[in-house]
Amino acid sequence: MAERPLEGRVTLVTGGSRGIGAAISQQLAAAGAKVGVNYTANREAADAVVAAITAAGGEAVAIHGDVSDPEAAGAMVDATEEAFGDDLWNLVANAGITRDNLISRITPEDWDRVIDVNLGGTFHVARAASRKMLRKKRGSIVTMSSVVGLHGNLGQTNYAASKGGVIALTKALAKEVGSRGIRVNCVAPGYISTELTDVLNDEIRGILLAQTPLGRLGEPEDIANIVRFLLSDDAAFVTGAILSVDGGLGM
């Protein structure tokens, strides 16, 4: 792989200011990409990621917007292009939320919000980005599913449904745009060390580790490394793929 395989390529990372998204933003910038770091509410976190990237000699800008809003999704893509004065090359549709509960206790509002952000948000930004890419006949999109989207999980029917939908969306979109030189792939992380997993008690953590052949939780960088590869020309013949990055948990 080239040292900077994404040199100069304008890239939007939704949910790019925290956790896995922050690691992706920084990894792609280190690979030469010009990164739009999307955030919804926490401008301070986005600014911190941008500052870390620029301090390391990269290029990044904070991009505000709620992916569940179709107009905002389009505006994010436009703002990223305007910030760097160049056409969008890559999209990482990473933004997502959880509202976990048993199905008997999930409210319609919590169902709708998870679907709207995780699945609807992926659709909105992929739609806006692919329109740009189709005109150039090149580009790469990486969506973010989950081991839960592949195998389900207790208390996460809304999240599992949204992430399973992302997998189906990825495959369908890959078939639609492949003939125009655009690749679309999906990463399905397992349990990663972020704020979401920090709250797990020792018993639950022990169960997860016992079920994971590699015997550890993943790190955000484990996901970022795969995203960087999928966006690069080293993955030029990879599209419609669903890559599980879960330490073997899903086997």
**Residue 235 has what DSSP assignment?**
G
29 touches 56 (CB < 8 A): yes
Beta strand spans in 56-144 (E):
59-64, 88-93, 139-144
Which of 39, 84, 159, 191 is flagged as catalytic? 159
Tell me if residue 159 is catalytic. yes
Beta carbons of 235 and 183 less than 8 angstroms apart = yes
CA trace torsion 131, 134, 135, 136 (10° rounding)? 130
Name, in order, each residue with C-beta under 8 angstroms of 208's C-beta and a sequence gap of 6 or more: 191, 200, 217, 249
Longest dimension (CA), the chain: 52
3-state secondary structure of 144: strand
C-alpha closest to that of 92 among 152, 158, 10, 213:
10
| Catalytic residue ranges | 159
